[in-house]
Structure 1
Amino acid sequence: MNKIWQFSSYNLWSQFAPPVGQEQFHCDMKRGFAKARKREPQVAPLLATDNTPQRIGILAQKGVYEFHQNPQQFSGKDGVEQLAEILQLSQESATVQERVLVILTNYHQHPILSGKNIIKLNRGDEGFPPPILILEGNYQFNFYAAIDCIFAEPDGTLHILDFKTGKSEFDHRQAYLYLLATSYLYPQKPAIASFYNLETGKQSEPITTTVDTLKAFQIEMASIAKRHQKDLKRYRNNPDEFNIIFPPNPGLNCFYCPFNSICQFSTVKLEVTA
């Protein structure tokens, strides 16, 4: 069987179209660096290095995982300190240490998965999950969905829970895509999805869907996969048109972009060299 190169995911969709209200922070050139130029010597090391929000997210997920691997930590007063040692938190930056300690303390006090029938709980550093092969019309593509946690409600309904950190609003598109993935992974099971912010304690209402809605999201994922492959092909054939194929949007978002040190359009770079 031929390898399927076409793929789609929430991450890729968010690089095409940001959540509502975040348009000013969107830059399609980031997708170009991350997907089209990812193997270049200047780009690869930047992709291999986690930024501060990424480190916090990974360690937060690991913290939840370790709590439930060793439930006795919930009853101990020094459970947070023990977990900080397991995560080697002392080796992280001061900002990461401070925020992750808050997250661990919050979860130690309010472990929302305690007593749940956990079916799947990711550690947070597994990398890409196995792809789901989707056939939409006559078009095949791999769909990736890195689900943080699945537990069963008392009535058997699967509950997909996505952990968040930071201050960003929940993007419900992600929940629908996880429900799409679940419809393939557990086709006979009803499912709902929700978000929980480990840092603030904010939780969304459960999100439900219909067969027609999932079909619409599947069609959108197929469209994203096709558009992305078209852009990659255009870039391979016309590398000098990088900024046309993946147009930049310089501004405040440059301060948080991992590619600001090598991007000719970055306002951060311009300010430093001025």
Structure 2
Amino acid sequence: MFVLGRPFASYHLWSLVAPAVGQERWHCQMKRGFIKARQKEPIVQELLAQATPPQRIGILAQKGVYEFHHHRELLSQADGVEKVAQLLKLSKTSEEVQQRVIQILKNYHGDPVLAGKQIVQLTRGDEGFPRPIFIKQVEYPFRLYAAMDCVFSEAGSRLHILDFKTGKSAFDQRQALVYLVAARYLYPHHKAVASFYNLERCKKSALITVSSSQLDTIENQLAVVAQKHQQDLRRYEQKPVNFSKIFPPNPGSHCRYCSFSSICEFSTAKSDCGEAEIKPMG
């Protein structure tokens, strides 16, 4: 049975409610419906538990960075990469995952971006949901979830929030903005900045800074996201048969990469496969 919870916001929810700039064509609200409204259904739970190769690579990459700094001597040892690979039990993963994570570990071993930094927080990446931050908005209070990969101290009292990435996707600045809102509550006596670093491509983003008034605006945007999502959940709770109206689908070629294509009646993934099978060769 669906149970309506308290309003919340996170970068993940924001990305499900509204696409990143330039990604509008591939954005599907029905995915949010499966993840956030129907997540307790056994078949949906099973699909959510199946990590895709990109997701597994991202988690293992974060764990790899954590292990390098948890066992700092490995950063200076010639066989440091091999030892971290053993700690991650990479031999039990697929060949694709092994190859890409090994390369990530080699990249980091050769250029450890956190070396010499005063690390305040460094997560393994598999801790689950962080403790909620209660945002006491006058008009619409909500809980904010923000799982930060790494926070380190810089000159003076400034904190730098660094988010690690893998793959080829562009950085979504909204994620950094959510972290900066969270830092406002978690570290109220510190000024915070944020950036991204792609462990696979060894590429860093520009430094992201915001003013106090900009943080207010972002907080308001998150309140709108929390409110809209809560309203949609309430509508679904009242009339589950309207699932596709509350969370409208956006079928297309991107369906083949969706975790829910096997149970989504609007998915084009199966038809795409069929077309590919009868396509003339040559």
TM-score (norm 2): 0.94
SS in 1 for 2:127: coil
What's the CA shift string for 1:224-251, capped at 9, x where partnerless? 1110011011111111111111011111
Partner Cα distance (1:138, 1:235) in 2: 23
The residue identity in structure 2 corresponding to 1:165 is T
Match of 1:136 in 2: 137
SS in 1 for 2:269: helix
Displacement of 1:265 in angstroms is 0.8
Match of 2:222 in 1: 221
Does residue 268 (structure 1) correspond to residue 269 (structure 2)? The answer is: yes
Match of 1:148 in 2: 149
Match of 1:117 in 2: 118
Does residue 87 (structure 1) correspond to residue 88 (structure 2)? The answer is: yes
Partner Cα distance (1:254, 1:138) in 2: 37
Identify the range of structure 1 (133-142 vs 165-174) with the bigger mean alpha-carbon deviation.
133-142
Partner Cα distance (1:94, 1:265) in 2: 32
Displacement of 1:128 in angstroms is 0.5
Q: Are the equivalent residues in 1 in contact too, given 2:253–2:272 (CA < 8 A)?
A: no
Displacement of 1:135 in angstroms is 1.1
Partner Cα distance (1:16, 1:44) in 2: 20
What's the CA shift string for 1:108-163, capped at 9, x where partnerless? 00000000000000010000000000011142211000100000012221000000
Partner Cα distance (2:139, 2:18) in 1: 25
Displacement of 1:4 in angstroms is 6.9
Structure 2 gap segments, 5+ residues each: 276-282
The residue identity in structure 2 corresponding to 1:106 is N
Does residue 183 (structure 1) correspond to residue 184 (structure 2)? The answer is: yes
The residue identity in structure 1 corresponding to 2:79 is D
Does residue 16 (structure 1) correspond to residue 17 (structure 2)? The answer is: yes
Match of 1:33 in 2: 34
> What value does the CA root-mean-square deviation take over the aligned residues?
1.3
1:39-54 residue pairs with structure 2 within 5 A? Answer: 39-54=40-55
Count of residue correspondences: 272
Does residue 256 (structure 1) correspond to residue 263 (structure 2)? The answer is: no
SS in 2 for 1:218: helix
Match of 2:76 in 1: 75
Check 1:4–1:184 CA distance in 2 against 1; reply closer, same or farther (3 A cut). farther
Partner Cα distance (2:140, 2:174) in 1: 22
SS in 1 for 2:31: helix
Match of 1:59 in 2: 60
Match of 2:248 in 1: 247
Displacement of 1:25 in angstroms is 1.6
Match of 2:6 in 1: 5
Partner Cα distance (1:253, 1:227) in 2: 25
The residue identity in structure 1 corresponding to 2:110 is Q
The residue identity in structure 2 corresponding to 1:245 is I
Match of 1:96 in 2: 97
Displacement of 1:271 in angstroms is 3.9
Match of 1:236 in 2: 237
Partner Cα distance (2:93, 2:261) in 1: 23
Identity of aligned residues (%): 56
Q: Are the equivalent residues in 2 in contact too, given 1:148–1:162 (CA < 8 A)?
A: yes
SS in 1 for 2:102: helix
Partner Cα distance (1:249, 1:222) in 2: 25
Partner Cα distance (1:248, 1:95) in 2: 31
Partner Cα distance (2:120, 2:42) in 1: 40
Q: Are the equivalent residues in 2 in contact too, given 1:4–1:140 (CA < 8 A)?
A: no
Partner Cα distance (2:270, 2:239) in 1: 25
Q: Are the equivalent residues in 1 in contact too, given 2:140–2:227 (CA < 8 A)?
A: no
Displacement of 1:205 in angstroms is 1.5
The residue identity in structure 1 corresponding to 2:35 is A
Check 1:176–1:25 CA distance in 2 against 1; reply closer, same or farther (3 A cut). same
